[in-house]
A and B are shown apart, each in its own frame.
Chain A
Amino acid sequence: MNEMTEGHTVKRFDEEMIFLHRLVLEIGGLAQDQLKRATQTLNDKDPSAAREVISRDQELNALDVQADEELINLIIKRQPMARDLREIITISKAVSDLERVGDEVRKIAQLTIHVYDTDGSPPNKQILRDINTMALFVGEMLEMSLTAFDELDAARALEVIRLDSELEEEYRSALRRLTTFVMEDSRTIGHMVDVVLGLRALERIGGHAKNIAGYVIFLITGSDVRHESLERIEAQII
């Protein structure tokens, strides 16, 4: 963790900030692990493991609630200003995004259940291929955004924002490929909607990683870049 050069006069304030910082990393780590596990359930054709992933989302929800309580207590006690205030806002928003990552991951697990826990025929492997590719991609984005937060690395955060454009392109390509599969083999249409929802969930996870990267830039520079173009964000960082 890249802390400020000097601590607060009130040492307990430092401890509370460090605790919250680590809580974000813990929640982020859990969200990443959930994503990996959900994708694995699809590869392993394991609806039972998928149900475990869905059930484990409760842990993320509980940490989300805990983070909110800690944030409220800190605001009441310390009334953070400037950099501290920006960090508190960043933490609050990042936790909220990570909790939503958990919600999206549930949809991937749900896909496994829909596809492999029904009487119908399992899907052609090819139509699930893009789920794996995109899951790896957004997993990397999530990892980078959390590292950017931990190390206060604006360049890495900028890279995540840049990757989101690639992800959007990847998402559109995946939808085009799916359409082609369905046109070629209409029997795949039964799984089409599930897969589209899965791809959409992954695209949203990438969006949450991008949001976290935006908060990190806000934390470092004080500029709200959420609705700025990549060029403008780059200009602000440089």
Chain B
Amino acid sequence: MIVEKTAPAEDASQVIHANFGGTVGDLTVAEPRMTARNVNVHYADKHAIIDVSLDIGRHEVVALIGPSGCGKSTFLRCLNRMNDTIDSCRVSGEIMLDGQDIYDKKLDVVPLRARVGMVFQKPNPFPKSIYDNVAYGPRIHGLAEDQSALDEMVEDSLRRAGLWDEVKDRLQQPGTGLSGGQQQRLCIARTIAVSPEVILMDEPCSALDPIATAKIEELIDELRQNFTIVIVTHSMQQAARVSQRTGYFHLGRLIEVGKTDEIFTNPQHKLTEDYITGRFG
């Protein structure tokens, strides 16, 4: 039997793109650590990020939220050129770190990724000892003058990551032997061991239980004193708890950005409202 197809209803995404009038809210901050302007990302034919501009302030936690596939992780990965590793990926626009263009062809990405560190969704400690996991960065970047300086860096990083007391007696044991939450804090210790300016976190708690999540969130709050943090999270409660500003992504666009308490009590854009109240769909 031949069934005649009726014309599809107008695609909701086309309507959103057609009506998009620019990001709602103030994209800028007084003292930005990073600035992104008109960032576009293509994966082959797919336009994954569309004209996104956003400042990341010093010592602030910026949360990026949005439904799966909205581009929040892709945008996060632009901030330390992690997308460079994907052949089909093209990034255009401007991203500056302390006034320096991070997409400058002369710029070496290895020190960039030390300055803008990253913590991933799944804890990914190296198959090495706890000590070596943390010492890895300072060693390859030549940050420690001698062994005692390196020991100090490892201890300091583990302390800052809230892990020292739990691992100080077993530093030579494999990092992979720790619990999930401990592994994630080890990865954070590894990231901060090279004194980054910015830490990018891509759903850092999605594989953790509530207690381990609470420890990471507590840690994020402490790390803010010294670092700038951008976190992608699916948990709106987590975004509300840990961040000072929140950006809502939808279909590759930054729909709205603003102070976190305002975004979660009185968002200005209907898409943001629909998403955070669970009306999206």
Contact = CB atoms under 8 A, between A and B. Distances in A.
Contacts of A84: 277
A162 B273 CA distance: 31
A9 B264 contact: no
B278 A9 contact: yes
Contact of A82 (B237, B277, B281): B277
B281 A9 contact: yes
- Which 5 residue pairs spanning A and B have beta carbons closest together? A222-B266, A81-B276, A8-B278, A6-B279, A84-B277
A4 interface: yes
Interface of B: 236-237, 240, 264-267, 272-274, 276-281
Most buried by A among B240, B266, B278: B278
Interface in A172-227: 221-222
Given A9-B278, A83-B273, 15 more contacts: A7-B279, A9-B280, A9-B281, A79-B237, A81-B264, A81-B265, A81-B276, A81-B278, A82-B264, A82-B266, A85-B265, A86-B265, A86-B266, A221-B266, A222-B266
A90 B240 CA distance: 21
B277 A8 contact: yes
A84 B278 CA distance: 10
Contacts, number: 43
A76 interface: no
Contacts of A221: 266
A82 B258 CA distance: 13
Interface of A: 4, 6-10, 13, 78-86, 221-222
11 contacts: A4-B279, A6-B279, A8-B279, A9-B280, A13-B278, A81-B277, A82-B265, A82-B272, A82-B273, A84-B277, A85-B264
Q: State the majority secondary structure of interface residues on A.
A: loop
Contacts of B240: 81
A5 B102 CA distance: 43
Nearest to A8: B278
Contacts of A86: 265-266
A76 B264 CA distance: 17
A81 B275 CA distance: 10
Contacts of B277: 4, 8, 80-84
B137 to A, nearest CB: 38
A222 B114 CA distance: 42
A13 B267 CA distance: 20
Contact of B276 (A4, A7, A82, A222): A82
Contacts of B281: 6, 9
Contacts of A8: 277-279
A96 to B, nearest CB: 20
Contacts of A13: 278
Nearest to A221: B266
B266 A9 contact: no
Nearest to A80: B277
A221 B265 CA distance: 10
Contacts of A81: 236, 240, 264-265, 276-278
Given A79-B237, A81-B236, A83-B273, A222 B278 contact: no
A157 B150 CA distance: 66
B103 to A, nearest CB: 36
A4 to B, nearest CB: 7
A122 B272 CA distance: 63
Nearest to A10: B278
